[in-house]
Amino acid sequence: MKGRGFMSEDTEQFNSQERWDAFFMSIALVTSLKSKDLNTKVGAVLVDGDNHIVGTGYNGFPKGVDDEQLPSGREGVWLDTKYPYVVHAELNCILNSIVSVKGCTLYCTLYPCNECAKAIIQTGIRRVVYLLDKHHDDDSYVASRRLFDMVGTELCQMNKEAVSGFLRMCELRPYL
């Protein structure tokens, strides 16, 4: 059997940007696996104009905080839930970046909330590629879309089938 490298020849069905988007979204999905959140695992990857990764992040508690010391539940009194303590994947990605993120593209597995949208806009990220939009009608996400629209941030929802197809085309078995 003739070796075909990392990708199969079927990648020609994607244009270059679609291929890069699927590649980086795949990395965001793998990054989400680092999250210890029992309910929602979110990953994010920041990429510069040369398609170099400049940051990664996942949802979790701040650095140095013992995961066992804080609540992980979603219901009850707000201070007794995870929500006031978790840093979202998008913000972690920005904070973990190794260079300025101005002009970068953010790949995230879940559409950003309004708080993350503000950080994305303030840091000059020009494009957001997301996979899921499961909170589309919640106020926080409506506000997020309004903010992105006001400043002209490019938004692109990835097709799940495109990401799945990309992953199927990867030939990692010879390396495992």
Active-site annotation holds for 154: no
Tell me how far the alpha carbon of residue 46 is from its chain's centroid.
8
Instruction: Dig out the tokens for 152 from the structure.
Output: 């002209």
Three-state secondary-structure class, residue 73: coil
Q: Which amino acid is at 123?
A: T
Catalytic residue among 90, 115, 154, 161: 90
* Cβ proximity of 107 and 24 under 8 Å: yes
Beta bridge partners of 87: 60
Pairwise CA distance, residues 90 & 94, whole Å: 6
Contacting residues for 36 by C-beta, under 8 A, at least 6 apart: 60, 67, 72
Active site residues: 90
